[in-house]
Amino acid sequence: MNNGDSLRIAVQKSGRLSEETIELLENIGLRFDGFRNRLMVTSKNFNVELLLIRDDDIPEYVQDGVCELGFVGANVTEEKRTDVNVLRDLDYGTCRLSIAVPKNSGFKQVEDLAGKRIATSYPHLTREYFDKKGINVDIVEISGAVEITPTLEVADAICDLVSSGGTLKANGLTELEPIMYSECQLIQTRKPVDPKKQELIDKFLLRMEGRQKAERSRYIMMNAPEDSLDQITSIIPSLNSPTVLPLADKNMIAIHSVIPLDEFWEVMEQLKEAGATGIVVMPIENMIA
């Protein structure tokens, strides 16, 4: 248990999630002195300390309450079968856990792997997948460099994390089927947290929410004929009503609004059709409700 006053957050020490997690923490205003060769780093301006450890240990540390919060891939939390609260999916560390086979193996579908050996660092998730399909396979647990095992004839196929697929290709493997999609998540312990620390967590989450909302939105400005205002307002999926400003040309107005990033292109096309011109799109630093 963490009996200190500071909120303790587990972060991967060095790996694919480290840089973006630290960047996220800095983007919500937390300042740190230096990370070099340190296991524990204290923030200079927020009552929080970071525990820098291997990603494999993060779910358990959070489960046991050694850290109140942790940043870790869903793949690890689920493989470890830990009981934690998933607070938020983050938009980085995205990858999939996939079955892959040697290019010339002749395996065309997962059913072809019945009775074969599958190398993986994710024995639980892999086992669960094949069990659900009723396919009997031998799981060979390997802690790293899984992609080399078919060449070494240690396994017939693998189940490993893939993002671009470059590593698979470089090792003469092709992807057969994804079994899980994963991204970095913020997790919280289910152990009781004292009220003062919970206050810190709430404050921390509020900042994260503002930042995440901002990252998923764009600020747009455009000019439009005055008589198209109703049509344009109906296109913009804004929570608030848009800002409308007069222009020197009496028949024209300027409209400012915030739109969700995932509707960006669709909205843009409709705005143009409705007569909007000079559309300017800008990123947003933060959004506080």
CB of 243 to ligand ATP, least distance (A): 40
What are the structure tokens assigned to 204, written together? 């921390």
Residue appearing with tokens 């705005």: 271
CB of 42 to ligand ATP, least distance (A): 21
**Distance (Å) of CA 256 to CA 65, 217, 259, 283:** 46, 13, 10, 13
CA torsion angle 108 113 117 119 (round to 10): 50
Which CB sits closer to ligand ATP, 163 or 243? 163
Residues in the chain: 289
What are the structure tokens assigned to 32, written together? 């740190």
CB of 120 to ligand ATP, least distance (A): 12
CB of 114 to Zn ion, least distance (A): 30
163 binds, among Zn ion, ligand ATP, none (CB under 5 to 8 A by kind): ligand ATP
31 binds, among ligand ATP, Zn ion, none (CB under 5 to 8 A by kind): none
Question: By CB under 5 A, is residue 56 in contact with Zn ion?
Answer: yes
Helices (H), the chain: 18-27, 58-63, 74-79, 123-133, 166-170, 195-215, 229-235, 264-273
Which CB sits closer to ligand ATP, 151 or 163? 163
CB of 126 to ligand ATP, least distance (A): 15
Binding site for ligand ATP (CB under 6 A): 12, 15-17, 54-56, 73, 75-76, 93, 95, 161-163, 182
Which CB sits closer to ligand ATP, 161 or 259? 161
Q: Which of 284, 213, 207, 210 is nearest to 9 (CA)?
A: 207
43 binds, among Zn ion, ligand ATP, none (CB under 5 to 8 A by kind): none
Which CB sits closer to ligand ATP, 70 or 73? 73
What's the rounded Cα separation, in Å, for the pair 215 and 124? 34
The DSSP bridge partners found for residue 139 are 118
Which residues of this chain interact with Zn ion, rule CB under 5 A?
Answer: 55-56
